[in-house]
Chains A and B, each alone.
Chain A
């Protein structure tokens, strides 16, 4: 029954979204308010039905209804309820349904506000129709099995995790949130004028969500994959970074459009590009082309269809842009030595960085497609290309903050930045003296982080809550950089084979292995070690998940917000001895606090500007 209900909801969504874009465009072109109101109502109705579809799927998972193929493939009666529900979007079909749901939610949100943009609503409706039909035709989560089995195949244990459970909603909030920006951009192109404030609000919302989504993914990788790494330049990670970089450029450029009315064409280009990268990311992850711990293992046919959809949508939008570009041509040249000039430079550097990441991610795929040679591009490439481009960006950011719109006064800026510069230099000298850093780059990174934090705090001190979002976000970047530099410069590790009663020493602390026990969890069997240090106990585990018989490590992390100690239980060595690894990670929590602050900053800006709509 749930299968029929779900499919029915999907059909209604297609119907209402079609009605939505037909009435939206017709209403806009013929200027009939009743049609425009109809479009808004259709938008809300299709949201009701996507919610219905999604609720149906979640219910099926909650009830362990194995008559649905999707539930059978990805769930198990003994899984904890949270992971049963999260399993709804932990697979290709379910996550695509989540994708469509967010698309639909965005459309519903677009119907509120002082003035509803009919063209934007129409474009959004077209997107919903296309993706719902794609979902229905190629990845229907409601496919039924004639004779329901009694037990499911369970969810990949790597996904049975809190962090990964909420990672997709935030990530898709970002990816799909940019559909609103895309729709507004197309609407602007069709109209010949941009509603920059509205576009900025949506950009901030989408970017904020995407930032959190990426942060959650990185945090999950850190504690779950067992190596203490937080970013691997994995193609799937890059797939989320690319729209993020583009979106970061967009939120700055759209502000220039809002304040100065300049850089309109660039803003529209970025708006279209960001959504293009979102779609590209969706394609990459689901295409089965990527070898990764994280990719959905899928058939290339689906990937090809998404690629075709992507190509069509992007081509049409850029053709439209070029046809109407003349309407957005700037009258006045940009004043380079000003805030808007630096914002332009900001977007240039971000896009250059984006180019390096895109190339590094796509090159192996292209090469393999053309010549059949398998090649991989790892961290060293990205460190040599992306990082040098980000350095001038971060150094100049506080300058951009201090500069006025339309022109600058060198002496004034220098005066305002001097205290922070002094503090930063003092800090760097202190580090040099106390710690003898082994890497020039990372020492520079500490300085850079300190520079961003100091300038942001100084700005808040002087300007209180004005432009608070900007200060918080920039401070977040600084804290993030400090985190990376800290763990790189001062990180340490120790490995050893221990039997009960043995000790390991790391950074002056002694870790005592009290005991190793075995036991049963809800759907796994575990082997748990008890490492005592100071007053605390770390309990790293190895788990054997049923029914897949998959072995997984659960690391144990002790943190005080500034330093993490990370314990991994390794393989049994025989003779009542186990392998252990302990990692000492100073400042690593700041990596995710930094991301969180960036997201918060965007939300603050969003909140303070919402009254305008």
Chain B
């Protein structure tokens, strides 16, 4: 499960303006009438981050030691290297 920053696609040191801008961007991508579930997630994330005290609490207390290891240490955490088009196309061309 993503934490609030991940939902809004923010770095840990995002400013108030960045948080607000990210929220607006996400609402445009997931409007409530077309993507109600995602919108709610985005809204909850913004509520957690817009208030400085809540933001601090979100940062301090959102670690979850019960998150599966495969999720925490698997593919998407950290590395998303650019490898050029050939490797990607090889998957389509290959069997």
Q: Do A and B come from one complex?
A: no
Q: Which residues of B contact A (CB under 8 A)?
A: none
Q: Which residues of A contact B (CB under 8 A)?
A: none
